[in-house]
Chains A and B, each alone.
Chain A
Amino acid sequence: MSLIHLVILSPLLVAVLVPFLHKYFKKIHTGWFVLVLPLVLFIYFLQYLGTTMSGETYTSSMKWIPSIGIDFTIYVDGLGLLFALLITGIGALVVLYSIYYLSKEKEALNTFYVYLLMFMGAMLGVVLSDNLIVMYSFWELTSISSFLLISYWYHREKSRYGALKSMLITVFGGLAMLAGIILLYIMTGSFSIREIIANVDVVTSHELFVPALLLFLLGAFTKSAQFPFHIWLPDAMEAPTPVSAYLHSATMVKAGIYLVARMSPVFAGAPEWFWLVSGFGIVTLFWGSFTAVKQTDLKSILAFSTVSQLGLIMSLLGVGSAAAYYDYIGENAYTIATLAAVFHLINHATFKGSLFMVVGIVDHETGTRDIRKLGGLMNVMPITFSLALIGTFSMAGLPPFNGFLSKEMFFTGMLKAIDISAWNMDTFGIIFPVLAWVASVFTFIYSMVLLFKTFTGKLQVEKLDKEPHEAPIGMLIPPIILASLVVIFGFFPMLLKGVIEPALYSILPSNVLSVEVKIYHWHGFNTELFMTLGVVLFGVLLYLSVAKWGKIYEWFPQKLTLNKLYDGGLIGLERGSAAFTKSHMTGFIRDYLVMIFGFMVVLLGVLLFSTGAFETNLTNVAPVGLYEVILALVMVAAALTTLITKSRLTAIISLGVVGYAMSLFFVLFRAPDLALTQLIVETVSVALFLLCFYHLPEIAKEMNRLRFRLTNFIISVSVGLVVIFIGLSVNSSRLFESISDYFEEASYAEAGGKNMVNVILVDFRGLDTLFEIAVLTIAAFGIFAMIKLRLNDKKGGVKGES
């Protein structure tokens, strides 16, 4: 346990205090107490910048379950630190924003901050854990706290629906990732990421490499809302806006990006990894931006925009992974893609965070997020408008903001991808820059929609719930800080060199020796610049003519959307399982018995004959006696009588005949004690049967023959046959002699009795007898209770005795 363990767990510890703070300091908004923590943590993590910039890492380990190699090991390197700074920095801003966004009187603030702190701690744990199992634990904690935060307004049905959807999808991916972790453990014998990376040769040559890769990607794609798992993110927008800004733009959705980046040194270089990561990334990028254009809700636009930008980062990581394939890299051809990914990761966190906050302000001050109702807010909310302008222009990739720089680098990366001379890229490579360019056009369009439909045009006061006005200053500070960062990183991108460079060394495999971080505004007249010019040109044209071509969105059959598939799948699962349960859980005892007997016959019969256990061997058989044969015939006749008789009384008597024949058998086969017992027991049983059913007149009168049913007949005959076959095989193959010689010798010598059966019952195996007595006692008590106790008769009263 060192300080950094405490730091990571501190949000969880503070979360315990929040309800008390909320209860005893009612006058102060709980958020102010919470705000201190992320600020302190941010400053604390800034200290590590020096360590990582000099190329060093910090490790601290604490034992958790040492017997199976699970330790709470903290590993601070460039990548982990970058995420930790994002989490704590944006966390502080979001807490500040939420203080003004959530009302002290109306909202349950204690639960909100407990969930938010839980999430913050979990997220820090994910990015700083070296042990995969610990990381997985924190990973699921982010899913759970995200579930709680999405359903914060739990009385709304849509919130609950969105929470459930995100929970199902992300936990599904999380479990897949757990399976991948276990596969990696099988391959390397370690849960530690650093040790796995050190043993990367073992992993890449192992036959479980591809399954593990697929399972990890499933976890990353579901968490990072990649196509087709992106459907949970737009529905998660039912959460309060600070949550959307924090979880669903800046941090949690980047956990999948983090996972891909973290595992890159293990899996990169394989064609499967390259194609899946960059392919799914580019498709997500295109589909997200394409879908975002048709949305009318501001948060939905931002949700699909987040999906699309995450796809962009993912595809860059995919292309960057090609660096691992080429041992010698002359001009950092593919590392530039990774650089672009990390740079855009930071940029996206800044501008998307501020945009969400802007949308929250618009929602808060006008009462709606529908762009069809909004418009003309530019003069009413000038500061908010400026913030939105910076955010959207950065998102669209326009100079001089940071989005422009990362977009240029993105184009560079995609153009470089064509040059990859392996993995079928010669034929399909051209898809990457084309899709990337088209997606950028759509990104430009929805960014402009977001900005101009909200802030320009005519102010429609009559459609708004509130009189629009500028937001309070406290609500504006966090987006102002983020927007300033957008501008600062836009003009001075080299400020980030110290953060990006160590992160690159964590992502890139060890064969990449040097990385040069060079981000400048002006590259000269190259292809990327013309691509951007084209984006702007086409973007403006398409934005202005959106009324004409917007109808293409209606062409899509609404029944084939992924949401319909998800909903239909859930309903189908429920109906299917209900139908399956109903199909065999009929409530008829006969059906269950048929299943049990049928299964027994099939299993035993098949086993008996398939393993060759059935044999007949007559050497060991006792001679046939006349009395026994006659008795056997009587017994069979009596047993069959119970089947064919009309009267139940005859059935009882026949059962008695079988019982007495049994005791005669015991006499013939030299078992005097058994004969005595059987005689008495049978007498009492028959008397009981007669007592019970003779004295129930209605039953005695009913005269029904047992109806013949072929299935019952087949089943019972096969049960009988299986028993006979097993009995014959057992008799034919005696493996060893009985242990009864011992009883013969020891009965008198050791136990002092001459009746061997009785000596066995009370001496050698006395414990059986004790519990047999217990069984009889329990049966007696049970019968007594059944007859005597009459609780709750139909009138509701309690009857004493009947």
Chain B
Amino acid sequence: MEIIMTIVAGVLIAAATYLMLSKSILRIVVGTGLLAHGAHLLLLTMGGLKKGAAPLLGQKADSYTDPLPQALILTAIVISFGVTSFFLVLAYRAYQELKTDNMDKLRGNENHE
């Protein structure tokens, strides 16, 4: 199972990289979203996907899944959500002010000092 999940995470990250190399701001932001998903999936997989009960002690199970990666991913989800929404609004504002979403046109002036 881990092998499949690792490959899925790799595909997500490859797709994210391809999107981030494109010219459109929106696609770059979509790419960062995909990258976050890939990273979270990788975290979960690296923690081990062994079957066990959800990490709730009330279940009185013999074994539980590892709670630590879950806590880490939860933190990561929230942070990436904050960053992604910030980027989104930044892209939105950039488009409003500069009337383009083409990264090549959002380049600094050649002669800036």
Contact = CB atoms under 8 A, between A and B. Distances in A.
A782 interface: yes
Max chain A C-beta neighbours (<10 A), residue from B42, B89, B110:
B89
Contact of A622 (B2, B30, B66, B75): B2
B2 A786 contact: no
Interface residues of B, number: 84
A512 interface: no
B14 A632 contact: no
A688 B85 contact: yes
A492 B103 CA distance: 84
A670 to B, nearest CB: 4
Contacts, number: 258
A193 B92 CA distance: 68
A639 B11 contact: yes
B16 to A, nearest CB: 8
A786 B73 contact: no
B74 A738 contact: no
A765 B84 CA distance: 24
Contact of B34 (A642, A688, A717, A783): A642
Contact of A723 (B9, B52, B55): B9
B77 A678 contact: yes
Nearest to A708: B18
A783 B68 contact: no
Interface in A616-634: 618, 620-625, 628-629, 632
Interface string A126-159: 0000000000000000000000000000000000
Nearest to A624: B1
B21 A651 contact: no
Nearest to B17: A716
Contacts of A779: 82-83, 85-86
Contacts of A681: 77-78, 81
Max chain B C-beta neighbours (<10 A), residue from A594, A693, A706, A756:
A756
Nearest to B18: A716
A727 B1 CA distance: 13
Nearest to A776: B82
B8 A632 contact: yes
Contact of B75 (A692, A756, A768): A768
Nearest to B52: A670
A723 B1 contact: no
Max chain B C-beta neighbours (<10 A), residue from A624, A652, A779:
A779
A780 B56 CA distance: 32
Contacts of A642: 15, 19, 27, 30, 34
Contacts of A772: 75, 78-79
Interface string B89-100: 111110110010
Contacts of A716: 14-18, 21
A587 B103 CA distance: 10
A783 B45 CA distance: 33
Interface in B25-62: 26-27, 29-30, 33-34, 37-38, 40-42, 44-58
Interface stretch (A284-292, A427-435, A739-747): A739-747
Contact of B21 (A587, A593, A757, A765): A593
Contact of B33 (A635, A684, A685, A782): A685
B101 A699 contact: yes
B75 A643 contact: no
Nearest to B38: A723
A673 B89 CA distance: 27
Nearest to B57: A754
B6 A731 contact: yes
Interface in A633-679: 635-636, 639-640, 642-643, 648, 651-652, 655, 658-659, 662, 665-666, 669-674, 677-678
A655 B33 contact: yes
A765 B3 CA distance: 30
Contact of A760 (B19, B24, B71): B71
A518 interface: no
B99 to A, nearest CB: 8
Contacts of B23: 590
B53 A635 contact: no
A779 B86 CA distance: 6
Contacts of B20: 593
Contacts of B84: 685
A354 to B, nearest CB: 51
A658 B50 contact: no
A329 interface: no
B88 to A, nearest CB: 5
A474 interface: no
Given A720-B10, A756-B57, A590 B103 contact: yes
Nearest to A632: B8
Given A696-B92, A727-B45, A757-B74, A636 B8 contact: yes
A353 B93 CA distance: 71
Contacts of B48: 620, 622, 738
B46 A760 contact: no
Interface string A765-781: 10011001001101110
A646 to B, nearest CB: 12
A632 B4 contact: yes
A727 B46 contact: yes
Interface string A723-756: 1100110110000001110011001100000111
A743 B15 CA distance: 36
A538 interface: no
A717 B14 contact: yes
A234 B37 CA distance: 68
Contacts of A769: 75
Interface string A490-515: 00000000000000000000000000
Contact of B55 (A655, A684, A757, A786): A757
A192 to B, nearest CB: 49
Contacts of B6: 723-724, 727-728, 731
Given A587-B107, A669-B44, A748-B57, A720 B82 contact: no
A715 interface: yes
A669 B27 contact: no
Contacts of A672: 54, 56
A648 B26 contact: yes
Contact of A719 (B3, B13, B46): B13
A518 B60 CA distance: 107
A713 B15 CA distance: 9
Contacts of B82: 775-776, 778-780
Contact of B54 (A590, A594, A671, A778): A671
Contacts of B5: 628, 632
Contact of A720 (B17, B30, B33): B17
A597 B103 CA distance: 18
10 contacts: A621-B2, A642-B30, A670-B51, A685-B81, A685-B84, A706-B19, A716-B16, A719-B17, A727-B42, A786-B93
Interface of A: 587-590, 593-594, 597, 618, 620-625, 628-629, 632, 635-636, 639-640, 642-643, 648, 651-652, 655, 658-659, 662, 665-666, 669-674, 677-678, 681, 684-685, 688-689, 692-693, 696, 698-699, 704, 706, 709, 712-713, 715-717, 719-721, 723-724, 727-728, 730-731, 738-740, 743-744, 747-748, 754-757, 760-761, 765, 768-769, 772, 775-776, 778-780, 782-783, 786-787
Interface of B: 1-24, 26-27, 29-30, 33-34, 37-38, 40-42, 44-58, 64-68, 70-71, 73-75, 77-79, 81-86, 88-93, 95-96, 99, 101, 103-104, 107-108, 110
Q: List 10 A-B pairs, minimum CB-CB distance, nearest first.
A: A720-B14, A724-B10, A779-B82, A716-B17, A727-B6, A756-B67, A716-B18, A754-B57, A756-B55, A760-B71
Given A643-B18, A724-B10, 8 more contacts: A621-B3, A642-B19, A674-B77, A699-B101, A724-B7, A755-B57, A775-B78, A783-B89
